[in-house]
Amino acid sequence: MKISYDARGLAEPDAQAPEVAKIEGEGSERRAVFDAAELSTRQINSELRRLIYAEEISEVTVLNPGAKHSIAVGILARCRIIIEGSLGYFGCGLIDGPEIRITGRVGWSAAENMMSGVVVIDKNAGSLAGAALRGGDLVVRGDVGARTGIDQKGGTIIVGGNAGMMTGFMLQRGRQIICGDVGGGLGDSMYDGAIYVGGKVASLGVDCVEAELTADDHEFLSRKLKIYGMERDASFRKFVCGQKLWNYDNLEPAERKLVL
Amino acid sequence: MCGIAGIIHRDGPGDIGSEMTRMLQSMKHRGPDSSGFALYGPADDELLVMRIKLADPNEVRDYGWADRLERHRNEIEARLAKLGAVIDAVRGDQEYSFRVRFRYTGELKPLADYVEDVPGCEVLSLGHSLEIVKDLSDAQSVADRYGLGGFTGTHAIGHVRMATESDVDISGAHPYWAYPFSDIAVVHNGQLTNYHMWRRRLERIGHRFQSECDSEIIAVYLAQKMDDGLSLETAMKQSLDELDGVFTYLVVTSDALGMAKDEMAAKPLVLYDSPELVALASEEVAIRAVIGHEIDTCDPYERQVLVWNR
């Protein structure tokens, strides 16, 4: 059996939307569903765009994604996408607005660079989940790999299970809620933001310190976990930046010019 | 980048030749330079299988190239006979490589050394059930060229290579056999930073290295530890501290498949574990290429060592 599928999606720059989706309902209630088993990455994404942008359908279901890479990336509209199965690398990256539910697992760099929206993954995620996240909620009900939310700049990452090493590496802003255990080097070189951990912490990274939970933190944890129907563990701990590495110039470049 | 894959059937043999081809071909984009297979067929205690490379396919072919390789192949057969090996079957898939099966009960190192003494020759694998096939180009082309479809066995590993540390040739292609220990092979994704130190150490004990590829030492390193009396799992756990750099590697012996990930978890690996079948690959698409139904998978964590027996 020859495999002609190219996981990068580069093999077919002229791919057209296959127009295979079944559309049901009327007006704003219209829903679409299509089977991705025999489609390439380009065709799946073109079909999604056609349905969401041209047809203006608010709910699309994708069947049999088969762990292909780069599915549902760059969707810039309010809509609901349900993916029945697993995704490969870079799933749901660069999105702004959609609510996406994935019933399976995702590979590395899920929802990287999300601007706003919600991505819910029912099973596990690979490393670098929510890399450079800017906004919105990324929820993983299972376990995640290493370096979750590396360089995160906003939004919230919620993990129902355990997280690997260097979780919150270089976190700049935003929050992470890890209900299970975390690996070594938690919050290494984080600049700002907060990481809440429900389970055991293997070790803290450079310049990451424990902080006291405030009433606002408790309200935030309860509210966020309730939205996604997750158990609230009473024993959450909070980790923030120790500010020992904050050796920045206190003046902005423009201000420094004035001083000189 | 490179892509690695492993599969082990725990409920009897399967068509690992076709399965590994599908797994590797679905990761073709991770490395188009060369593809390699380490396949474990049915074992026979008296028979050994040797896969030999006579020359590299991309070397300049002069007028007498084919004749010279033919002479070298005859020389190898004569040398095997001289050491008391009784040749059972010989098959040449390509003019620059061939497979020979023979009866032999003596030491493997003198035999392999004597064969490799023939100019340009490299022993790719030697064992009772291990067969390593590696060549330039993608997995499907290599499998077609060597007739791997229908190769029945219990477990296999494979590799698609994007060369970063050494040349694009068969010597630099994975999997690596743990010369001269029978039936052990390794595929590796990553770079070792203390390669030269370990190479010198192993060379002092008397091991030979054919390529400049850092991955070659992992196979010999593990096999040497097992020869010293350690279990596969213990040897792999020691490698986490003794090998520097980034690595995710898979190792196979006559009855086991193992995986190890470095302390930074820098290289990907996806695991599907079921009582009948275990499949691992750099990307989930490779596992999906051999399993039709919906499955649950996970990413092993940093410093994780896992071993499955067939």
pLDDT tier at B211 (50, 70, 90 boundaries)? confident
Q: How many residues does this entry show for chain B?
A: 310
What pairs with residue B86 in β-bridges? Answer: B103
Residue A74 distance to chain B (closest CA, Å): 22
Residues B30 and B88 in one domain: no
Q: What integer is the mean pLDDT of A224-248? A: 90
Domain ranges of chain A: 69-241
Q: Could you please report the per-residue DSSP string of A9-64?
A: S-S-TT-------EEESSGGG-EEEEE-TT--HHHHHHHHHIIIIIS--SEEEEE-
Residues B156 and B192 in one domain: yes
Residue B172 lies in domain: 3-38+139-309
The pLDDT score that the predictor gives to residue A246 is 85
Residue B258, pLDDT > 70, answer: yes
The pLDDT score that the predictor gives to residue A253 is 73
ipTM: 0.88
Residues B149 and B83 in one domain: no
pLDDT tier at A251 (50, 70, 90 boundaries)? confident
Residue B197, pLDDT > 60, answer: yes
Residue A130, pLDDT > 90, answer: yes
Residue A4, pLDDT > 90, answer: no
| B134 lies in some domain | no
Lowest mean pLDDT among A1-5, A17-21, A151-155, A212-216: A1-5
The pLDDT score that the predictor gives to residue A228 is 96
Q: Do B283 and A3 touch (CB under 8 A)?
A: no
Residue A6, pLDDT > 70, answer: no
Residues B120 and B198 in one domain: no
| B210 lies in some domain | yes
Q: Which of B94, B128, B162 is the last residue of a domain?
A: B128
Q: Do A127 and B299 touch (CB under 8 A)?
A: yes
The pLDDT score that the predictor gives to residue A10 is 59
Residues B171 and B303 in one domain: yes
Average pLDDT, chain A: 92
CATH superfamily of A69-241: Glutamate synthase, alpha subunit, C-terminal domain (2.160.20.60)
Q: Which of B76, B95, B128 is the last residue of a domain?
A: B128
**Alpha-carbon Rg for chain B in angstroms:** 18
Q: Could you please report the per-residue DSSP string of chain B?
A: --EEEEEEESSS-B-HHHHHHHHHHTTGGG--SEEEEEEE----SSEEEEEEE-S-TTS---TTHHHHHHHHHHHHHHHHHHTT-EEEEEEEEETTEEEEEEE--S-HHHHHHHHHTSTT-EEEEEESSEEEEEEES-HHHHHHHHT-TT--BSEEEEEEE--SSS-SSSTTPSPEE-TTSTT-EEEEEEEESSHHHHHHHHHHHT----SS-TTHHHHHHHHHHHHTT--HHHHHHHHHHHS-EEEEEEEE-SSEEEEEE-TT--S--EEEE-SSEEEEESSHHHHHTT--S----B---TT-EEEEE-
Nearest CA in chain B to A6: B29
Rounded to whole angstroms, the maximal C-alpha distance in chain B is 56
Residue B210, pLDDT > 50, answer: yes
Residues B16 and B158 in one domain: yes
B-side interface with A, Cβ within 8 Å? 18, 22, 25-29, 140, 263-265, 268, 270, 283-285, 287-289, 294-299, 301-302
pLDDT in tens, B143-168: 999 999 999 999 999 999 988 877 89
Q: What global pTM score does this model have?
A: 0.92
Quick check: B22 and B305 in contact, CB under 8 A? no
Cis peptide before B32 (omega within 30 of 0): no
Q: What integer is the mean pLDDT of B13-37? A: 95
Query: How many domains is chain B partitioned into structurally?
Result: 2
The pLDDT score that the predictor gives to residue A3 is 46
Taking the CA atoms of B49, B210, B241 and B297 in sequence, report the sign of the dihedral they define.
Answer: negative
Q: Do A108 and B288 touch (CB under 8 A)?
A: no
The pLDDT score that the predictor gives to residue B24 is 97
Residues B73 and B27 in one domain: no
Residue B100 distance to chain A (closest CA, Å): 28
Residue A157 distance to chain B (closest CA, Å): 18
B264 interaction partners in chain A (CB closer than 8 Å) = 146, 165
The pLDDT score that the predictor gives to residue A234 is 75
B297 interaction partners in chain A (CB closer than 8 Å) = 86, 105, 124
| B259 lies in some domain | yes
CATH code for the domain in which residue B146 is found? 3.60.20.10
- A-to-B residue pairs, Cβ atoms closer than 8 angstroms: 81
A5 interaction partners in chain B (CB closer than 8 Å) = 26
A142 interaction partners in chain B (CB closer than 8 Å) = 298
Q: What integer is the mean pLDDT of A205-232? A: 95
Long-range contacts (CB closer than 8 Å, 24 or more residues apart) made by B195-198: B195/B245, B198/B242, B198/B243
Residues B70 and B178 in one domain: no
The pLDDT score that the predictor gives to residue A33 is 98
Residues B50 and B31 in one domain: no
Structure tokens at B272: 């599907």
Residues B152 and B265 in one domain: yes
Beta strand A173-178 with B47-53: parallel, antiparallel or unpaired? unpaired
A85 interaction partners in chain B (CB closer than 8 Å) = 294
Q: Which residue has the higher pLDDT, A16 or A169?
A: A169
Residues B61 and B199 in one domain: no
Q: Which residue has the higher pLDDT, A60 or B1?
A: A60
Share of chain A above pLDDT 70, in %: 94
The pLDDT score that the predictor gives to residue B276 is 94
The pLDDT score that the predictor gives to residue A207 is 95
Q: What integer is the mean pLDDT of A118-141? A: 97
B18 interaction partners in chain A (CB closer than 8 Å) = 1
Structure tokens at A199: 């389970």
pLDDT in tens, A46-57: 999 999 999 999
Q: Which residue has the higher pLDDT, A233 or A136?
A: A136
Q: Which of B102, B128, B154 is the last residue of a domain?
A: B128
Q: Which residue has the higher pLDDT, A234 or A35?
A: A35
Lowest mean pLDDT among A105-114, A124-133, A231-240: A231-240
Nearest to A3 among B25, B287, B298 (CB): B25
pLDDT tier at A28 (50, 70, 90 boundaries)? confident
The structure tokens 């029978």 sit at: B182
Residue A5, pLDDT > 60, answer: no
The pLDDT score that the predictor gives to residue A252 is 72
The pLDDT score that the predictor gives to residue B292 is 87
Residue A2, pLDDT > 50, answer: no
Which site among A2, A44, A86, A87 would you substitute to test the B interface, given the most B Cβ atoms closer than 10 Å to its Cβ?
A86
Residues B290 and B171 in one domain: yes
A-side interface with B, Cβ within 8 Å? 1-3, 5-8, 66-69, 85-86, 88-89, 104-105, 107-108, 123-124, 126-127, 142-143, 145-147, 164-165, 183-184
| B133 lies in some domain | no
pLDDT in tens, A174-217: 999 999 999 999 999 999 999 999 999 999 999 999 999 999 99
pLDDT in tens, B56-113: 998 899 999 999 999 999 999 999 999 999 999 999 989 999 999 999 999 999 999 9
Residue B242 distance to chain A (closest CA, Å): 20
